[in-house]
Structure 1
Amino acid sequence: MHSLTRRTFTKSAVVASASFALKGFSQTVSSQRQVGIAPIGLGSIAEVFMRALSKSRNAKLTGLVTGHPVEKGKKFAAMYGVADSSIYTYETFDNIRNNHDIDAVYVALPNSMHCEYTIRAAEAGKHVFCEKPMAISSNECKRMIDACRHAGVKLMIGYRLHHEPVFLKLHELVRSGALGEILQFQAGFYGMKNKQEWRLNRALAGGGSMFDLGVYALNTIRWFAGEEPVDFRTLVATRDKTGKFDSVEETVNCLLRFPSGILAECGSSYGQSGTNYFQINGTTGHVRVEPAFSYGDSILKYEGKTESGDLAGSGAVYDPDQFVTEVTHFANSILQNTEPATPGEEGMKDLLSIEEIYKAAGSLQA
């Protein structure tokens, strides 16, 4: 890689961001039509997704699936110009097979429902964009992959950082060898107080902070390592004694070892007042991103050092811009019949690791 300085790296990151965006837009301009997408579940993340769809040039909102067709369904239908006939409930969901304006669905349900509705959507002939974590077990992930493959539809998992320009630039930096051989990753997502009760129910969520927040850290580590962990050490703690963490863990810290010898520390917590970060340590350089995994009005900030000198910069992450890039990629994969960057297999690999992390803990409670 060419010599990097604080100024040149920041400039190249901006250029990379612009070229990435332009590439996506040039692809959408050439598209003959927009991909029609219906979110399943109209909670807070689906609201962000719908705002992103309204900004997309190759996708649009064409249906809604909700347990509250009057209160939520009609509200969002009026807001985004969706026909009342394209509002479905969970009971009438399978009828979307007859709606040719809906090409795909966005699964934004509690984790335990991802598998069922991905399979039902595939059987209805619809492509699937499923939020992370993909499911609550690797076995469910396999069923989802098999169903979509059998139906000939796309399956993409919502790892938005794989489409975020700052992370793409840092991934390129690591691959270039500018940090030398990678020795260690450190990542954690702490301090987001739980707001949705279903996330504290293991039957619905699959687990606690690891499934909700730790999956960001785990997936980013796996992505940057380019290999799968083979050894796991885990500690779990629940300091809150009110009983709300009776079925899921509050805090998890784990140590991973990869075949190459890379070590990684990965943590998450619902209870801590903290931050979220991603640290890369190499033999000739290091980089830290903080905050790293949040979205909304957060500003991604990175700083570090390579053999060539210091580097630093930032990237504005405004809700829902990360999601616009993500949904644009998903729609392009449908329009151009290409494999999404984060297919179902990527989601299943996270679940395989999470299962090993919990196994190493011996118990979800401490």
Structure 2
Amino acid sequence: CRHGGYEAALADASVDAVVVATPPDTHRALTLRALEAGKDVIVEKPAFPALADFERARAAARAAGRRVFAAENYYYRPVRVALARLIAEGAVDEPLLLRVNAVKRQRPEGWRADRRHTGGGGLLEGGVHWVNFMASLGPRVERVCAARAGGRAHVAESLAAVFAYEGGMVGTLAFSWEVPSPLQGVRWSALYGRGGSVWFESNGIFLCVRGRKTRISLPGLRDLSGFRAMWADFLRALREGGEPAMTFDDAERDVRLVHEIYRSMDETTPGGPGAEAAG
């Protein structure tokens, strides 16, 4: 690193933007400090565990004449893009049921094992990826609720969430960091409609459409995670002065949905007054 620290980087006039990829409990202070120094900010998901911090960041960005982007690569995953396109095109006629499998074994370590730093459990720290996936398929999410599996709240949590969409589609998300998954996390998900179905590997390795015609595709093995597309979009937006496809409002929506899921399980709101005591 050519800079001796964060403040030194902010003081460098040749630096136009900074990336905040630290534990979530530090995001607000680091973002506000960068905006105060006149830098654009790309902040790692979840951008802010507390919803009120989104408006604080917006106000600071307006005052500084800068922008804040939320780094959410799942929005750019080829499988998310392909599924949203298939729904828009009516590939399964009226979509009825969506089933997404996000179950795996992941042992939180370091700050990820401490709810004081993450602001919540595994759903907020990692599962917000999948909440973004569920909320970025076209139809608007009208409400969401969930039930926890396995007892009390802890970081490596397991739960099932139900998403009710405008237009009548219902989606279920099975999320866990506690369940061993075969083949290093290969999992199957599906979309069912009145005129067909779409079967896909959750990460996007494979997708099969069965309807009037059967189509099989590999949505995007070269950028399975969506990182290349995300950074290309961010750089375009920074250079041209526009907005990225994944907006700051989208990031706020995702955290709001996580809050609603936790509230439906009668838990401490992520990033709220009782979050530290919940560890």
The interval holding the TM-score normalised by the smaller chain is 0.7 to 0.9
* 1:303 alignment partner in structure 2: 208
Given the superposition, is the C-alpha separation of residues 320 and 162 from structure 1 closer, same or farther in structure 2, using an over 3 Å criterion? closer
Candidates 226, 240, 248, aligned match of 2:155 = 248
Q: What amino acid is the match of 2:4?
A: I
1:141-189 deviation line (CA, Å, top 9, x unaligned) = 2222332233222222122233334432332221111221221222232
The alpha-carbon deviation at position 278 of structure 1 amounts to 4.2
In structure 1, the residue matched to 2:4 is: 87
Aligned to 1:204: 117
C-alpha separation in 2, matches of 1:98 and 1:270: 40
Question: Measured at CA, do residues 148 and 196 of structure 1 come closer, stay the same or move farther in structure 2, by a change above 3 Å?
Answer: farther
Count of matched residue positions in the alignment of Structure 1 and Structure 2? 265
How far did 1:320 drift?
A: 9.0
1:136/1:206 contact within 8 Å kept: yes
Aligned to 2:26: 113
* TM-score normalised over the length of structure 2: 0.85
Equivalent residue, structure 1, for 2:217: 313
SS in 2 for 1:272: coil
Are positions 1:235 and 2:147 aligned together? yes
2:51 paired residue number: 138
Q: Which residue of 2 aligns with 1:39?
A: none
Q: Which amino acid aligns with 1:235?
A: A
Residue 356 (structure 1) aligned with residue 260 (structure 2): yes
Deviation at residue 304 of structure 1 after TM alignment:
2.6
SS at match of 2:91: coil
Match of 1:281 in 2: 192
3-state SS in 1 of match to 2:195: coil
Instruction: Report the AA paired with residue 236 of structure 1.
Output: R
CA distance in 2, matches of 1:288, 1:342: 25
Give, in whole Å, the separation in 2 of the partners of 1:359 and 1:321.
30
Rounded to whole Å, the distance in 2 between the matches of 1:124 and 1:187 is: 42
| Alignment deviations for residues 313-362 of structure 1 (CA, whole Å, 9 cap, x no partner) | 21454579732321121111011111111121111101111111111101
Alignment check: 8 A CA contact 2:36 2:60 kept? yes
Q: 1: distance between equivalents of 2:254 and 2:188?
A: 19
* Residue deviations 1:250-271 (CA, integer Å, cap 9, x gap): 2121112223222111221111
Distance in 1 (alpha carbons) for counterparts of 2:188 and 2:109? 23
1:203 Cα shift? 1.3
Structure 1 320/260 Cα, relative in aligned 2: closer, same or farther at 3 Å?
Answer: closer
Compared with structure 1, are the counterparts of its residues 234 and 249 closer, same or farther at alpha carbon in structure 2 (3 Å cutoff)? farther
Separation in 1, partners of 2:252, 2:196 = 32
For 1:322 and 1:273, how far apart are their aligned partners in 2? Answer: 24
C-alpha distance in structure 2 between counterparts of 1:247 and 1:164, whole Å = 28
Q: Which residue of 2 aligns with 1:345?
A: 249
- The 5 Å alignment of 1:15-26 reads none
Aligned to 1:173: 86
What percentage of aligned pairs have identical amino acids?
A: 22
d(CA) in 1 for partners of 2:153, 2:89 = 46
Between Structure 1 and Structure 2, the one with more helix by share is: 1
Q: Distance in 2 between matches of 1:277 and 1:137?
A: 32
Give unpaired runs (5+ residues) of structure 1: 1-76, 78-82, 240-244, 293-298
Q: Which amino acid aligns with 1:87?
A: G
Q: Distance in 2 between matches of 1:215 and 1:350?
A: 7
Do the aligned partners of residues 291 and 329 (structure 1) sit closer, same or farther apart at CA in structure 2, a change above 3 Å counting?
A: same
Partner residue, 1:324: 228
Cα 1:178/1:153, change in 2 over 3 Å: same
CA distance in 2, matches of 1:98, 1:247: 40
TM-aligned CA distance change 1:226 to 1:258, over 3 Å? closer
The CA RMSD over aligned residues, in Å, is: 2.4
- The answer to whether the Cα contact below 8 Å between 1:111 and 1:206 also exists between their aligned partners in 2 is yes
1:313 maps to amino acid: S
* 1:339 alignment partner, SS class: coil
Instruction: Report 1:153-192 matches (<5 A).
Output: 153-192=66-105
- 2:237 matched residue in structure 1: 333
Given that 1:214 and 1:266 are in contact with CA atoms closer than 8 Å, whether structure 2 keeps it comes out as: no
Based on CA coordinates, which of the two structures has the bigger radius of gyration? 1
CA distance in structure 2 between the aligned counterparts of 1:249 and 1:229, rounded to whole angstroms: 27
- Change in 2 beyond 3 A, CA 1:144/1:192: farther
Question: In the alignment, which of 256, 261, 265 is matched to residue 168 of structure 2?
Answer: 261
Runs of at least 4 residues off by over 6 Å = none
- Matched-pair contact (CA < 8 Å) for 2:93–2:196: yes
* TM-score of the aligned structures, taking structure 1 as reference length: 0.66
> Taking structure 1 as reference, are residues 320 and 173 closer, same or farther at Cα in structure 2, changes over 3 Å only?
closer
